[in-house]
Amino acid sequence: MKINNINSLNVNPYKKNLNKVQSSGKAADRTDKVEISSAAKEMQVTSKVATERLDKVQALKQQIEAGTYQVDAEAVAKSVIQYFSKN
């Protein structure tokens, strides 16, 4: 069986990779750019509902810490019954 040296000159995969790395170093001077859509900007703004919810949570925390928070057992029971009747 005869094997010819076809295209065996300059076949060095490591050198090819080195050339790619060196050429990509020149492209490293570019900077990234990020654009935020208007919908995303609106989502970042604190909504009125979120502010009201935060105020309500803070008030409940203060009531619990002061020991003045009273649980309405009847409302809790109605809510549990309503939840399980749907499922």
Global pTM reads 0.40
- What is the distance of C-alpha 3 from the center of its chain? 57
Which residue in the block uniquely carries the two structure tokens 């000159």?
Answer: 9
- pLDDT, tens digit only, all 87 positions of the chain: 666 666 655 666 677 777 776 766 555 567 888 898 988 888 777 778 888 999 999 999 999 999 999 999 999 999 999 999 986
Q: What is the C-alpha separation between 55 and 12, in angstroms, rounded?
A: 68
Give, in degrees to the nearest 5, the angle at Cα 17 between 14 and 20. Answer: 155
Supply 40's token pair.
Answer: 């995303």
Q: What is the C-alpha separation between 63 and 65, in angstroms, rounded?
A: 6
